[in-house]
Amino acid sequence: QVQLVESGGGLVQAGGSLRLSCAASGRMFSMYDMGWFRQAPGKEREFVAAIGWSAGSTLYASSVKGRFTISRDNAKNMVYLQMNSLKPEDTAVYSCAARTRGLVLQTTPSPYDSWGQGTQVTVSS
């Protein structure tokens, strides 16, 4: 397990951009698949994006595809989520998550065994 800390959330107007960062502590960060999830008030936690350990594989939820980009820098133990063209419906607490490298990227929360505390993203209309 690794410890994760998110940052970069805030208040932005619709159409604006934010970049979220997730800092991982511990060794062997490159051995983990990483994901971003979000949870809005009154809604279930939903998948946003995932990236494989090698950064060669990515997955995106259909709701964010074309607007969000997930990336990682293994040398810095960092994962990023670049969010462009933000919409009010993107408002949520965003959390990063890690799981031991697997054969396929996971889009449900349960396979991820390490979670950050989350960072609030609020998009105003």
Residue 55: what pLDDT?
72
Question: In whole numbers, what is the pLDDT of the chain averaged over residues?
Answer: 94
Q: 63-72: per-residue pLDDT in tens?
A: 999 999 999 9
What's the average model confidence in pLDDT over 8-37?
A: 93
- Return the SS3 of 90: helix
Q: CB-based burial of residue 43 (10 Å sphere; 0-12 exposed, 13-18 middle, 19+ buried)?
A: exposed
The yes-or-no verdict on residue 94 having pLDDT over 90 is yes
The yes-or-no verdict on residue 28 having pLDDT over 90 is no
